[in-house]
């Protein structure tokens, strides 16, 4: 560290007057008060609403159903709003409205200073706390989604009988889908975008610390409405909840719609925060050519989330409106359109895949240079790849609608755009291959995830090329082939990259090393189970097995048995990995501040990371990829371009 | 020649490009490196393993029955060609991936490796070649796809792709209605014959008007390679000319509720005489 940084000058600046103890009412609010107030508000809303507003006695079944739908929606929203009030989310704005500024001590209290472990259960603004909360939440959601996946595969593996009631089976696949989608959207940008990114760019916190806490607790509040659907008839319509099937659904569907509406606010807030932080809070000297590639990946992902998530939100707002005030946006009999829903849905639905894959890919690029002791190959090509994917991802959504009959001629332009996106996506593969080129890998778990993910991307990418083609899609659409393909992208390239990122940044987040042996065993068991599961699922799809069925022709038996065996293998692997995470977190080997010898800023500060990350803000003098020795083959050396590392 | 024994290249001043060895000399030197040769060999081996996948893919698609229409033939041809043309890039990618596991050495152990790898920041030639190769591949796939789409569209319309002219035969109109969870087929030209199994004559163009009474279904005739959503409040169209006698599968390919899995029926492709007999038996009138 140099002595060029500006020291805090709090003593020179007139501070707002401290009213009472630091934190004020926030000293008393926590997840307990939030949950209590939320539950009370939900119960009161339900009681008042059912007494006064639901026309129970009416002979008009539609009116009664609409009234009940409105009641359930109001109950869910009451839970969300009053949970947020109860946890203290609005304490800051209310104090401003009352004319009291927050003091420095208030801000430090809100950041969780000297509150021990309890700060993880409060509306804490410290980005490291939020990041850790996101990691736990992502693991919880992945566990829930994984459990549902095991149940799905159990049904499909037992080919001689119906294990579950078809309604329950349908809600299994719907809930599995949406839970996993939410989990994968947060699994990299949530934990590592929040915990690591600010340190990586040399900032003391996110640009908007209170919004950071808001984004996490909104997500938290959105989960109970989603989970409760399993007791209210379930989400029986797949994760896409196509209309008008969804309008026939039981009231569990309201939970889906409320969850998506709230979750969209959460991602919007998080995206704004991540973009603003990355753009404005970088350390002195961190020019755009010196920004770690992970930051670029998070920005790319956040931009897509910010622009396209509102489409998903609108689609569900209109669906909810159809339910609770009997509008006809999607009701064909009344002039509504099912194709309107499908368009709004896929406007997010496709960019969402890249929202998942890009930050994971960027995290792997970030870590592979450390394990290869080589600079990132063609940083600028990587950025061009991210930019290209972000740009083109906005004009490919109709490839999900080739077979709807909505616009037969649209197949031509959208086939073009969909196949073009493979070019910038190919840039990312080039960067990873170029970085591997002539490197000696340090074969630790994070590095091995790079190999696994590139393999999955090759398989997922090539099968994606088939599906982008309209004639082929005419056979494959709605078949198990599609299911296998997107699991290769979302799980193979998304989740396994998140595992790599977790293994890499685990020491910084917990101060302990992830158990290499157990973690690797779990990872590889899951990886090979994954290949078996979805490799055989490709075969089922090629044979013509439709997706989302619970019974099928005997011709598909063998591939389904293999898939189920593979799925249980994944389950075992993931449990081993989870066990490794939990035991290492509790009692793993202490890691020190820089166990991997990384050059990005997060490894230059101590572990555990202090409240404001750096004693003195760092000044950056080069990009973080100054690894490697001169190429022995290369007699042409440009000595002045050898970076000197981070000061 | 291994990395431990790098060759010496006679280059004095980077500022004087005239002193750099000629391009062909550099290429020759590059190709003489051991790892380059091994990766090329590995790529060829992997490529030779991938190309047979094209037949394997077709084999799986044909497990439940060989193509029964020109459209399905085109779809399988596209799968075959795509597998073959993407094989080289896949092979190179996987070859580098597998080779790098140990090929350039590897480091194990607890501590960060002391020995660093070559500081290759970028390589203009590699970038240009990669972008060119992926663009050519994507361009080929797009053009192939556009042509194939036009081809199957004209097959669906009962015309020949070459001249876009109807091939002289009048298509049989069939109204397909999906409802939870059955398919109904109505033959308006045959005196409104209605059936829950699709019975059609061979080598006669069929034209489907597809709709739904309730939710979105998807009309998928597997071995004939056609698929179109059945939407409430709208009629969508597709068509095909079956060219093989036999019984094939019709499945619903869009989740439509409780008994989606059981929403399937059969299509029987029969001779014209058998079809006429069936229509008479159903009380309809003879085809024109």
Residue B218 sits at φ, ψ, to 5 deg, of -140, 120
Arithmetic mean of pLDDT, B150-168: 75
For residue A646, what pLDDT band results from cuts at 50, 70 and 90? very low
The percent of residues above 90 in pLDDT, for chain A, comes to: 77
- Does residue A291 surpass a pLDDT of 60? yes
pLDDT score recorded for residue B157: 86
Arithmetic mean of pLDDT, A26-41: 95
* A248 within domain boundaries: yes
For residue A634, what pLDDT band results from cuts at 50, 70 and 90? low
- Does residue A636 surpass a pLDDT of 50? no
Token couple for B64: 């439940």
A378 vs A317, A407, A433, A440, B241, CA distance in Å? 43, 40, 11, 18, 52
Arithmetic mean of pLDDT, A476-496: 96
pLDDT score recorded for residue A65: 84
Total domains in the fold of chain A: 1
- State pLDDT tens for residues B11-34: 554 555 555 677 888 888 899 999
Residue B95 touches chain A, beta carbons under 8 Å: no
Q: To the nearest whole angstrom, how far is the Cα of A58 from the nearest Cα of chain B? A: 25
Looking at chain B, which residue has its C-alpha nearest residue A239? Answer: B255
Q: Which of A3-17, A222-236, A244-258, A400-414 has the lowest mean pLDDT?
A: A3-17
Token couple for A378: 């063609």
Between chains, do B259 and A166 touch, taking CB under 8 Å as contact?
A: yes
CATH, domain range B172-281? 2.60.40.420
Q: Residue B251: its chain A contacts at CB < 8 A?
A: 544, 546
Q: Which of B59, B62, B227 is nearest to A408 (CA)?
A: B227
Token couple for A60: 């008009």
Arithmetic mean of pLDDT, A510-520: 95
Q: Residue B96: its chain A contacts at CB < 8 A?
A: 433, 436-437
Q: Residue B216: its chain A contacts at CB < 8 A?
A: 242-245, 338
> Could you give the CA distance from residue A329 to residue A545 in angstroms, rounded to a whole number?
33
* A109 within domain boundaries: no
Between chains, do B107 and A638 touch, taking CB under 8 Å as contact?
A: no
Residue B253 touches chain A, beta carbons under 8 Å: yes
Residue A285 near residue A620 (C-beta atoms within 8 A): yes
* A30 within domain boundaries: no
pLDDT score recorded for residue A635: 45
Mean pLDDT of chain A: 91
Residue B17 touches chain A, beta carbons under 8 Å: no
For residue A399, what pLDDT band results from cuts at 50, 70 and 90? very high
Between chains, do A429 and B93 touch, taking CB under 8 Å as contact?
A: yes
pLDDT score recorded for residue A162: 87
Mean pLDDT of chain B: 88
Torsion angle (degrees, nearest 10) of CA A248, A249, A250, A253: -130
Choose the mutation target among B50, B74, B227, B266 for the interface with A, i.e. most A CBs under 10 Å: B227
Q: Which of A104-113, A557-566, B94-103 has the lowest mean pLDDT?
A: A104-113
Pairing type for strands B217-221 and B236-240 reads: unpaired
B261-285 exposure pattern, b = at least 16 Cβ within 10 A, e = fewer: bebbbebbbbeeeebbebbeeeebe
Q: Which of B101, B86, B128, B99 is nearest to B41 (CA)?
A: B99
- State pLDDT tens for residues A526-543: 999 999 999 999 999 999
- Does residue A187 surpass a pLDDT of 50? yes
- Tell me whether residue A281 is exposed, middle or buried, using C-beta atoms within 10 angstroms of its C-beta: 0 to 12, 13 to 18, 19 or more: middle
Arithmetic mean of pLDDT, A41-57: 84
- State pLDDT tens for residues A337-393: 999 999 999 999 999 999 999 999 999 999 999 999 999 999 999 999 999 999 999
Arithmetic mean of pLDDT, A146-164: 93
CATH code, A231: 1.20.210.10
Q: Which residue has the higher pLDDT, A162 or A429?
A: A429
pLDDT score recorded for residue A13: 67
Between chains, do B119 and A380 touch, taking CB under 8 Å as contact?
A: no
Pairing type for strands B198-201 and B264-270 reads: parallel
Within 8 A by CB and 6+ apart from A257, the residues are: A73, A316, A317, A319, A320, A323
Q: Which residue has the higher pLDDT, B5 or A76?
A: A76
Domain layout of chain B by residue ranges: 17-156, 172-281
Choose the mutation target among A369, A459, A546 for the interface with B, i.e. most B CBs under 10 Å: A546
Between chains, do B112 and A237 touch, taking CB under 8 Å as contact?
A: no
- Does residue A214 surpass a pLDDT of 80? yes
Looking at chain B, which residue has its C-alpha nearest residue A422? Answer: B138
Q: To the nearest whole angstrom, how far is the Cα of A424 from the nearest Cα of chain B? A: 9
DSSP secondary structure string for all residues of B189-225: GGTSEEESSEEEETTS-EEEEEEESSS-EEEEEGGGT
Residue B86 touches chain A, beta carbons under 8 Å: yes
- State pLDDT tens for residues B33-79: 999 999 999 999 999 999 999 999 999 999 878 899 999 999 999 99
Arithmetic mean of pLDDT, B241-256: 94
pLDDT score recorded for residue B21: 72
For residue A638, what pLDDT band results from cuts at 50, 70 and 90? very low
For residue A233, what pLDDT band results from cuts at 50, 70 and 90? confident
Q: To the nearest whole angstrom, how far is the Cα of B189 from the nearest Cα of chain A? A: 24
Choose the mutation target among A544, A545, A547, A562 for the interface with B, i.e. most B CBs under 10 Å: A544
- Tell me whether residue A273 is exposed, middle or buried, using C-beta atoms within 10 angstroms of its C-beta: 0 to 12, 13 to 18, 19 or more: buried
| B 20-79: CB under 8 A from A | 20, 33, 35, 57, 60-61, 63-64, 71-72, 74-75, 78-79
- Does residue B287 surpass a pLDDT of 50? yes
Between chains, do A549 and B35 touch, taking CB under 8 Å as contact?
A: no
- State pLDDT tens for residues B130-150: 999 999 999 999 999 999 999
Q: To the nearest whole angstrom, how far is the Cα of A432 from the nearest Cα of chain B? A: 9
Between chains, do B116 and A475 touch, taking CB under 8 Å as contact?
A: no
Q: Which of A412, A606, A641 is nearest to A508 (CA)?
A: A606
pLDDT score recorded for residue A637: 38
Q: Residue B223: its chain A contacts at CB < 8 A?
A: 544
B159 three-class SS:
strand
* A44 within domain boundaries: no
Could you list the residue range(s) of the whole structural domain that residue A338 is in? 125-636
Within 8 A by CB and 6+ apart from A614, the residues are: A1, A199, A202, A204, A605
Q: Residue B20: its chain A contacts at CB < 8 A?
A: 636
């Amino acid at each position: 560290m140099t002595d060029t940084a500006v020291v805090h000058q709090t003593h020179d600046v007139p501070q707002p007057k401290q009213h009472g103890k630091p934190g004020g009412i926030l000293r008393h609010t926590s997840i307990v008060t939030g949950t209590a107030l939320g539950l009370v508000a939900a119960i009161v809303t339900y009681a008042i609403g059912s007494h006064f507003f639901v026309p129970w006695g009416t002979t008009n079944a539609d009116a009664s159903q609409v009234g009940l739908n409105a009641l359930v929606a109001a109950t869910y929203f009451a839970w969300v709003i009053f949970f947020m009030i109860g946890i203290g989310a609005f304490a800051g704005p209310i104090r401003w409205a009352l004319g009291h500024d927050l003091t420095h001590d208030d801000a430090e209290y809100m950041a969780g200073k000297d509150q021990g472990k309890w700060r993880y259960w409060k509306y804490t603004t410290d980005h490291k706390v939020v990041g850790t909360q996101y990691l736990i939440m992502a693991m919880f959601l992945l566990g829930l989604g994984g459990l549902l996946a095991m149940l799905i595969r159990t049904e499909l593996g037992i080919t001689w009988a119906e294990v579950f009631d078809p309604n329950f089976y349908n809600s299994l696949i719907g809930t599995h889908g949406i839970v996993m989608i939410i989990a994968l959207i947060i699994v990299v940008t949530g934990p590592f975008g929040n915990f690591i990114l600010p340190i990586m760019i040399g900032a003391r916190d996110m640009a908007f610390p209170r919004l950071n806490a808001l984004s996490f607790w909104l997500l938290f509040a959105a989960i109970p409405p989603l989970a409760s659907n399993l007791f209210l008839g379930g989400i029986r319509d797949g994760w896409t909840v196509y209309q008008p099937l969804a309008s026939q659904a039981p009231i569990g569907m309201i939970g889906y719609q409320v969850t998506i509406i709230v979750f969209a606010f959460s991602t919007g807030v998080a995206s704004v925060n991540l973009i603003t932080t990355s753009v404005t809070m970088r350390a002195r000297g961190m020019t755009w050519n010196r920004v770690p590639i992970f930051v670029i990946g998070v920005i790319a992902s956040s931009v897509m989330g910010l622009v396209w998530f509102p489409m998903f939100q609108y689609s569900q707002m209109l669906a909810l409106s159809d339910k609770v005030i009997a509008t006809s946006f999607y009701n064909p009999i009344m002039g509504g359109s099912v194709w309107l829903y499908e368009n709004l849905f896929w406007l997010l639905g496709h960019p969402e895949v890249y929202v998942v894959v890009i930050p994971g890919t960027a995290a792997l690029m970030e870590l592979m240079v450390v394990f290869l002791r080589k600079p990132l190959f063609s940083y600028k090509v990587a950025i061009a790849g991210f930019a290209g994917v972000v740009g083109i991802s906005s004009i490919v959504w109709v490839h999900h609608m080739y077979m709807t009959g909505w616009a037969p001629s649209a197949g031509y332009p959208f086939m073009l755009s969909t196949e073009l996106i493979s070019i910038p996506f190919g840039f990312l593969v080039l960067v990873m291959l170029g970085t591997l080129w002539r490197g000696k890998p340090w074969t630790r778990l994070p590095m091995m995830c790079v190999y696994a993910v590139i393999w999955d991307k090759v398989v997922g990418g090539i099968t994606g090329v088939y599906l982008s083609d309209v004639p082929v899609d005419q056979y494959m659409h709605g078949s198990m082939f599609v299911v296998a393909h997107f699991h290769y992208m979302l799980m193979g390239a998304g989740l396994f990259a998140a595992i790599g990122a977790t293994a890499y940044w685990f020491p910084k987040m917990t101060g302990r090393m992830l158990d290499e042996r157990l973690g690797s065993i779990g990872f590889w068991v899951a990886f090979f189970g994954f290949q078996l599961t979805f490799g055989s699922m490709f075969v089922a799809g090629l044979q013509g097995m439709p997706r989302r069925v619970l019974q099928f022709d005997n011709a598909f038996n063998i591939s389904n048995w293999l898939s189920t065996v593979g799925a249980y293998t994944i389950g075992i692997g993931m449990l081993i990995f989870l066990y490794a995470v939990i035991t290492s977190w509790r009692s793993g080997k202490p890691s020190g501040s820089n166990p991997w010898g990384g050059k990005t800023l997060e490894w230059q500060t101590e572990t555990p990371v202090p409240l404001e990350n750096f004693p003195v803000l760092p000044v950056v003098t080069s990009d973080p990829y100054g690894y490697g020795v001169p190429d022995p083959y290369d007699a042409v050396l440009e000595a002045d371009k050898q970076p000197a590392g981070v000061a | 020649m291994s990395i431990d024994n790098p060759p010496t290249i006679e280059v004095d001043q980077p500022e004087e490009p005239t002193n750099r060895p000629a391009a062909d000399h550099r290429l020759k030197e590059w190709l003489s490196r051991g790892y380059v040769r091994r990766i090329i060999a590995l790529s060829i081996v992997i490529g030779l393993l991938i190309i047979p996948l094209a037949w394997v893919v077709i084999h799986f698609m044909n497990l439940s029955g060989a193509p029964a229409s020109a459209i399905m033939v085109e779809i399988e041809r596209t799968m075959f060609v795509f597998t073959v043309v993407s094989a080289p890039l896949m092979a190179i990618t996987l070859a580098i991936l597998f080779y790098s596991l140990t090929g350039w050495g590897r480091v194990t152990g607890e501590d960060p490796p002391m020995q660093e790898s070559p500081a290759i920041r970028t390589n203009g030639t590699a970038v240009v070649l990669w972008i060119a190769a992926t663009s050519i591949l994507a361009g080929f796939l797009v053009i192939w796809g556009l042509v194939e789409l036009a081809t199957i569209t004209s097959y669906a319309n009962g015309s020949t792709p070459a001249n876009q002219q109807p091939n002289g035969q009048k298509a049989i109109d069939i109204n397909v209605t999906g409802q939870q969870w059955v398919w109904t087929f109505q033959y308006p030209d045959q005196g409104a014959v209605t059936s829950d199994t699709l019975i059609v004559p061979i080598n006669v163009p069929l034209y489907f008007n597809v709709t739904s009474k309730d939710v979105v279904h998807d009309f998928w005739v597997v071995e004939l390679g056609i698929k179109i959503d059945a939407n409430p409040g709208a009629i969508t169209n597709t068509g095909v000319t079956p060219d093989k006698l036999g019984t094939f599968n019709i499945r619903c390919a869009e989740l439509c509720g409780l008994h989606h899995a059981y929403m399937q029926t059969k299509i029987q492709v029969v001779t014209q005489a058998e079809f006429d007999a069936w229509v008479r038996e159903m009380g309809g009138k003879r085809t024109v």
